[in-house]
Amino acid sequence: MFQKTTIYHSQLVSEGEIEARINSEPCKSKFPAKDGSVQYYVEMIVAGTKHQLILENDSVRQVLCGLKDQTVVLKATGSRDDAQIEVHVVNPGQQQVAPRQQPAPQQSAPQQSAPQQSAPQQSAPQYQAPQQQQQETAPQQAPQQRQHAPTSDINSAKLSIMQITNLHLLCAKAVAQYEVPTLKKATGEDMSESQRQGATASIFIESCKSGLCRLMPSHKIED
């Protein structure tokens, strides 16, 4: 699927949906981006091969936090600042539920009666019409059954996103309440907005690496 070890966001967009196992939290790359900014990546396995996915922006990095050792389905869209990535956690217990074609053998009963009526050969087409109608309606029922399968995946994603959001808010509060006044007291200078965002992102990434995201509640934290 991918020829090289390094995978870029644009390659994920062209592939559509892919299944991968995430092997690490977002890590700081030794190599900077083209514009000189800090670049991050995650290690993952796709089709049995190890790869490093370069994370396009902070939004993509935050979505992939807390997913280490989990198998997911990734769908990437956009590019650069507008780049986004959808993550669906794969539930191993549901993988065998998707194909629902077991009722098909019940439709073979009318075919057994055909040899008994072989004398009037003109009656044979009369039994093919209802079979074709049943086969045509079967694909219409299959999507209705599959619509319920992703519900638990969506709920699981919502809970994970809420945990990530709570951790990010705690990091932002720590910068605002402790780091900003401490820097002001020590240097007499105010921290700029870009410095605040950088400090928050650094604390958030290190917190994700330490596994703090899994300790967060899946509901809103009240002050």
Render pLDDT for 111-132 as a digit per residue (tens, 0 to 9).
555 555 544 555 544 545 455 5
Average pLDDT over residues 193-214: 88
The domains found in the chain, sorted by start residue, are: 1-90 (2.40.50), 152-223 (no CATH)
Q: Which ranges in 58-192 belong to alpha helices (H)?
A: 58-63, 109-112, 124-146, 151-174, 180-187
Q: What are phi and psi of 160, to 5 degrees?
A: -65, -40
Distance in angstroms (rounded) separating the CA atoms of residues 175 and 198:
10
pTM metric for this prediction: 0.42
Residue 219, strand partner residues: none
Strands 6-7 and 49-55 come out as: parallel
Q: What is the mean pLDDT of the chain?
A: 78
The pLDDT tens digits of the residues spanning 8-31 come to 889 889 888 989 999 999 998 888
The pLDDT tens digits of the residues spanning 35-60 come to 888 889 999 999 889 998 999 898 89
